Structure 1
Amino acid sequence: MSDPTGENNVLHELKVVVGLALAMAEVSQAQHTGDLPITEWLLDPAESERERVGLRGILAAITELESSPSFQPPGAGSGRPLPTHAPSFTRR
């Protein structure tokens, strides 16, 4: 894994956040599907599983980007500032 300083700092921070979200999702699922009847479940186990699969996929993508020697965060080295707002995709 690359050093989490410099260009990969953004990826490292994102990996930590996604890892925490995954841990919370796993703990939450374990707590809510105990011996309760289905009518009292706060979370749908299928939805929780989809969330965990998605988070694992994001973690895998981050790990792949971190190991890529050609990765540069958006705007790095281009001399251009990063956009401060998301583009609008509304029709006029």
Structure 2
Amino acid sequence: MSAPSGDNEFLYELRIEVEEEVILAEASHPEEAVDLPVTEWLFDPTDAEREEIGLRGLLHAVEVLEGDSRSGDHGAANA
């Protein structure tokens, strides 16, 4: 996939960054921390799960915006 130019560049870069954050959130394995005593937690597993859910929502929103701007580009070309 090549990087788009113009107005879509910001959305493309944002999507890449959010995807990287989702990968990091998945790699934290919050489900494994639940099995440890609370005193050994490096992070609250519930907070980590909330963050991953929020990131996935943000990623979906960016993808929707990218789709809207692509379909808007096609409509402008046909006018």
TM-score w.r.t. the length of structure 1 is 0.63
1:43 positional shift:
0.9
Q: CA RMSD in A?
A: 2.3
Aligned to 1:64: 64
Cα distance, 1:59 vs structure 2: 0.3
CA distance in 2, matches of 1:34, 1:50: 14
Counterpart amino acid of residue 60 in structure 2:
A
Aligned residue-pair number? 69
Unaligned runs of 5+ in 2: 74-79
**Alpha-carbon shift at residue 36 of structure 1 (Å):** 2.9
State the percentage of identical aligned residues: 43
Higher helix share: 2
User: Does 1:27 pair with 2:27?
Assistant: yes
2:18–2:55 contact (8 Å) kept in structure 1: yes
The answer on whether the counterparts of 1:19 and 1:59 sit within 8 Å (CA) in structure 2 is yes
Do the aligned residues in 2 keep the contact of 1:32 with 1:42 (CA within 8 Å)?
Answer: no
- Does residue 4 (structure 1) correspond to residue 10 (structure 2)? The answer is no
Query: How many Å apart are 1:32 and its aligned residue?
Result: 6.0
Answering whether residue 40 of structure 2 is matched by residue 40 of structure 1, we say: yes
Q: Which runs of 5+ in 1 are unaligned?
A: 72-92
